[in-house]
Structure 1
């Protein structure tokens, strides 16, 4: 984020993404549990969340580990990106760096959406767990072409809301039909690495939407960062009952 943007946030500039995140997403309730551990050791039935680009590439950072651990899910992700490349479509998302004309911005799909990939048999054979993989489309490009952190905040906000909507539908469907659905949500501190977004802003979004996410960090961080592990949180049914997890 530029120095000018940080300075304007200090005086409450309404056009600054930091101000707008705190204005529209701040809540006193925390749905995030941070605990030391390996993200990929999440329990059976968990959904593993990470942020993605829209180009069908998991080539660096934690995305490369996802590609190694979930090759079948990667193929689903690639096909999803390819489908929108071959048949382009767009939608409007709320722009945290809006102009005075409109607070919405038109973006090409799948940017600003979430893809929930069910457990794939080939991936289950690798680590003996039924993990769902969630792709949050937060940046159109990657590497030198990654979106600005301000644009990523807007796209991530839309993607998290879309994820929540889909999770509600999956739980409702499971209640009616007994179908499989994610039992818990796990992630790392997504978007803070190669996408360069401040974690506290992402936390505001997650807590405002009400997504109960277990955030894993390396064991070494528990001694150097002063963070203490807590029991994992689980998704709840639409009636408020716990539906699973470990």
Structure 2
């Protein structure tokens, strides 16, 4: 049974050569949650991860979707860059372990039961890869992880922790201070309000209906307000146009004629048609 300890801190402050573990989807996207921080701090690792998701094995005739389905339940262990690239080494001093626990993300994220099963399989794959690297006496530190699956994947952290304890790797779970309240909420992190919802202590922009009973009228009012602003800008520009000297033209009966386009007025004046 593995030892899973928890501490408060910054996972990216782990010693060099440590293994940083986080859960990923198989679509090649690090677009929300802690994955965004991994993408910003380890662009080299993101490119490797993205290529794994979008590139079937060489010589394989399977589709990308089938390849992504096969990736679920495995782990991509990305080593730090070699010392020949000192600049990149400074950006990526850790091993990055991408556990493919969900096929998709967002509204199409895998069910919690599947995510937990995939987590167990991915951990076995990671333990195998770690053992192989250590047999080669490669420098490799300890395992550090965030509370995987408990953010955007919405899985109870205590259930994921039980899966980690059943694995073969001792892991230090590092969490920021803001995650202390996650246990009180059943192990799930607080998610940002969805579109159209009103967050506590915050107000939505004017024109957005927060009651949901008259959405079309609210959207129409917002659109009209935007149109009026544009028209005011147009009127201001028109008001600043120089006078073309054509506002007093009359027909043979003495009736005022509409103003002529400035370009036409200039040509008429040049041809001595307006006297």
Q: TM-score, normalised by structure 1?
A: 0.64
Contact kept in structure 1, 2:26 and 2:69, CA below 8 Å: no
Contact kept in structure 2, 1:84 and 1:109, CA below 8 Å: no
Contact kept in structure 2, 1:73 and 1:123, CA below 8 Å: no
Distance in 2 separating the partners of 1:135 and 1:49: 6
1:54 Cα deviation (Å)?
0.4
1:224 Cα deviation (Å)?
9.8
Q: In structure 1, list runs of 5 or more residues that go unmatched.
A: 1-28, 90-106, 227-246
Query: Greater relative contact order (Cα 8 A, min sep 6): structure 1 or 2?
Result: 1
Contact kept in structure 1, 2:26 and 2:71, CA below 8 Å: yes
Q: Does 1:109 align with 2:70?
A: yes
Partner SS for 2:154: coil
What is the root-mean-square deviation of aligned Cα atoms in Å?
2.6
- Paired residues, number: 175
Which residue does the alignment assign to 1:183? 141
Instruction: Give 1 or 2 for the bigger CA radius of gyration.
Output: 2
1:213 Cα deviation (Å)?
0.6
1:172 Cα deviation (Å)?
1.1
1:199 Cα deviation (Å)?
1.5
Q: In structure 2, list runs of 5 or more residues that go unmatched.
A: 185-275
Deviations along 1:112-146, one digit per CA (max 9) or x if unpaired, are 000100013554333xx621100000011111211
Q: Does 1:75 align with 2:47?
A: yes
Is the alpha carbon distance of 1:42 and 1:204 closer, same or farther for their aligned partners in structure 2, counting shifts above 3 Å? Answer: same
Contact kept in structure 2, 1:71 and 1:123, CA below 8 Å: no
Which residue does the alignment assign to 2:195? none
1:85 Cα deviation (Å)?
8.4
1:157 Cα deviation (Å)?
1.1
1:64 Cα deviation (Å)?
0.6
Q: Which one has the bigger strand percentage?
A: 1
